[in-house]
A = this chain, B = another copy of it.
Amino acid sequence: MSDQKKVSIEDVARRAKVSITTVSRVINNVSTVSKKNRIKVEEAIAHLKYKPNVNAQNLARGTNNAIGLVIPGYPGIFHSFYAIELIRGVGHACEANKLDLVFHITNGFNPINTNSVGGIVFADIIENRKQVEQAVAQGTPCAIINNHVDDLDVSYIAINNKFGGEQAADYLASLGHTRIATITGQLGTQAGADRLEGFKQCLAKKKTALPDEYIVQGDYSRRSAREGAEKLLALKDKPTAVFVASDDMALEVMATFMEKGLKVPEDISIIGFDDNPACLYAPVSLTTIKQPLFEIAEEAVKTLIDMISEKRPDHLQKTVKPELVVRESCAAPKK
């Protein structure tokens, strides 16, 4: 649709009675312009409401000044919270790097138009792996957030789940707990395994005992969370605190405990993972390990910039540390 205003650099030059080169110089802040001319040009620009034509600039410079962000478009994108944080992070990074951010809300199927961008950030990939493949096939640098993709020439930026597990354990221990259990996520997933790994390592480091029955396998489902909670409750030597591998599960665990008459956090502490907004609406607001979405997004952009500028010809993996968010579901154990 439609044209920029018809004022061109030539019009400005004419009015200011200088060459277009000089105009170009003031536009680009080249220092070698006499004060007198600069002022004349600026006057002309203001008067004419001149705006440089970005397309011409980019063409002449041989650069493309934009990156794309692909977000699945179905309603309730993950959690809108997730998407917003990502958007904010990417947006911020783009602004800092003077990049245009072009947005692609996608249905997951249509190939996305990579022409106008120098690279693409995928805000996670759910069912849209095809799109990544197509972009890669076209030679477009891609960075993927929170998803490990090792068989494609792309970068990915993920959360340091192991560190998250460590933090959870460390926090609980620091509160004075010595009987700390965990209900894991699906251990087939990298995230699930890493969170458990970090948890175990931290406890080992602190020489806190971790009996086998304190490690209950879950699979991110609410059902598994409930079963896990019941198993823990059935133990003769009940834990006083439990690290649950996702907030969603943690909320179910909390509900289960409460139904059995336990008080959270007085009788038992719970810490989750994700910082799902639902944490705030729980009967007792949930302490959790927050995925630093904003920072991840920034990292992704930086990575992409590196790829585009070919400082990093090959793709790479980065991780970002999660962060403890203290709310009300954890307390010191009762004596």
A interface residue numbers (CB < 8 A to B): 1-5, 49, 51-56, 58-59, 62-66, 69, 71, 73, 75, 77, 80-81, 83-84, 87-88, 91-92, 94-95, 97, 99-105, 114-116, 118, 137-139, 281, 305, 308-310
Contacts and interface: CB of A to CB of B under 8 A. Distances in A.
Contacts of A69: 103
Contacts of A1: 63-65, 97, 99, 118, 305, 308-309
Contacts of A308: 1-2
Given A115-B51, A115-B52, A102 B103 contact: yes
A309 B52 contact: no
Nearest to A80: B84
Most buried by B among A2, A52, A54, A55: A55
A80 B78 CA distance: 13
A54 B4 contact: no
Contacts of A118: 1-4
A66 B49 CA distance: 20
Given A3-B62, A310-B2, A54 B102 contact: no
Nearest to A81: B80
A114 B309 contact: no
B97 A105 contact: no
B101 A103 contact: yes
Contact of A3 (B54, B64, B114, B305): B64
A104 B2 CA distance: 21
Contacts of A104: 91, 95, 101
Contacts of A88: 73, 75, 77, 105
Given A2-B308, A55-B55, A103 B116 contact: no
Nearest to A51: B115
B138 A49 contact: yes
Contact of A2 (B51, B63, B91): B63
